[in-house]
Amino acid sequence: MELKDFIQQFAEQFDDTDASEIDAQTSFHDLEEWDSLIALAVLNMTEKRYGKRITFDDMKKCDTVEDLFNVILAK
């Protein structure tokens, strides 16, 4: 599991936010399009692609995309 790949997968869950707006240091909760449906898609993608299960609570504690990546990595 690589950070670069994760960022790309994460960005793919957005319909209207361009991938160029999302990098390791993006505070994803502040993105205008971020909402509970995208959160569900990210959780599902994480499980399907990386075989790791994280919760909404795990996600809430993260600020940046890299924080989220590290939480998933530690699972």
Q: Which residues bind another protein (CB under 8 A)?
A: 12-13, 15-16, 33, 35-38, 40-41, 43-44, 47-48, 55-57, 60
CB of 31 to another protein, least distance (A): 12
Three-class DSSP category at 5: helix
Judged by CB, which is closer to another protein: 25, or 29?
A: 29
Judged by CB, which is closer to another protein: 2, or 35?
A: 35
Residue 64 phi, psi dihedral angles, 5° rounding: -100, 170
Q: In b/e form, how buried is each residue of 45-56, taking b as 16+ CB within 10 angstroms? A: ebeeebeeebee
CB of 5 to another protein, least distance (A): 17
- Cα distance between residue 14 and residue 20, in whole Å: 12
Judged by CB, which is closer to another protein: 26, or 46?
A: 46
